Amino acid sequence: MQPNPNDDNAICALNLPPGDVRLRHTARGNEIYDPLRKKWLLLTPEEWVRQHFTTYMQTRLSYPASLMANEIAIKLNNTTKRCDTVVYDRNGQPIMIVEYKAPSIPLTQDVFNQIARYSIALRVKYLVVSNGLRHYCCALDTETRRYRFLQAIPSYNELSD
């Protein structure tokens, strides 16, 4: 099933390699399968980005699906927030947070501020933001305690280098 390009809620082409995602149409609308959560979800532009991006991470960057999780609840300033995707190291410690936005949403400083707040709770080394069209990755410089932008998203094996 392909999304209808004439539909106002159409899912657009992304700046990612083609990914094998599962789609279906039900009484509640179009749905996309999330293999990390093992369930069908309403197809939204943000979910379209999430599923393609996690597929890209697994197939092109060798991220093990067993060390990735979607929609992880965290406590931050006495409130519960949800990280879009968390990647764990081989010891089960969080190492990366990925934040997704719909392709129509620009990646502004507010988006980076949001994911930086999440990193306070999880203390990760890598932050990634993507709207499916643009992708940014930052790494924490442990000496200066500042994030620096990387040229590319590292493969899973490069995360521990």
Residue 156 located in a structural domain: yes
Q: Is residue 69 included in any domain, yes or no? A: yes
Tell me the pLDDT tens digit for each residue of 23-56: 999 999 999 999 999 999 999 999 999 999 999 9
Asked if residue 125 belongs to a domain, the reply is yes
Distances from the Cα of 51 to the Cαs of 33, 54, 137, in angstroms? 8, 5, 18
Other Cβ atoms within 10 Å of 2 Cβ, number? 7
Structural domain boundaries, residue 91: 62-160
Instruction: List all residues 6 or more positions away from 133 whose beta carbon is below 8 Å from its beta carbon.
Output: 14, 15, 103
- Is 144 inside any structural domain? yes
- Whether the predicted model's global pTM rises above the 0.85 cut: yes
Do the domain assignments include residue 139? yes
CATH number for position 69: 3.90.1570.30
Query: Is pLDDT of 5 > 90?
Result: no
Q: Rounded mean pLDDT of the chain?
A: 89
**Cα–Cα dist 15/72, whole Å:** 25
* Residue 77 pLDDT grade (very low, low, confident, very high; cuts 50, 70, 90): confident
Q: Determine contact, residues 118/74, Cβ cutoff 8 Å.
A: yes
Please count the structural domains in the chain: 1
The pLDDT value given to residue 161: 58
Q: Answer whether residue 6 shows pLDDT above 50.
A: no
114 is a domain residue:
yes
The answer as to whether 127 is a domain residue is yes
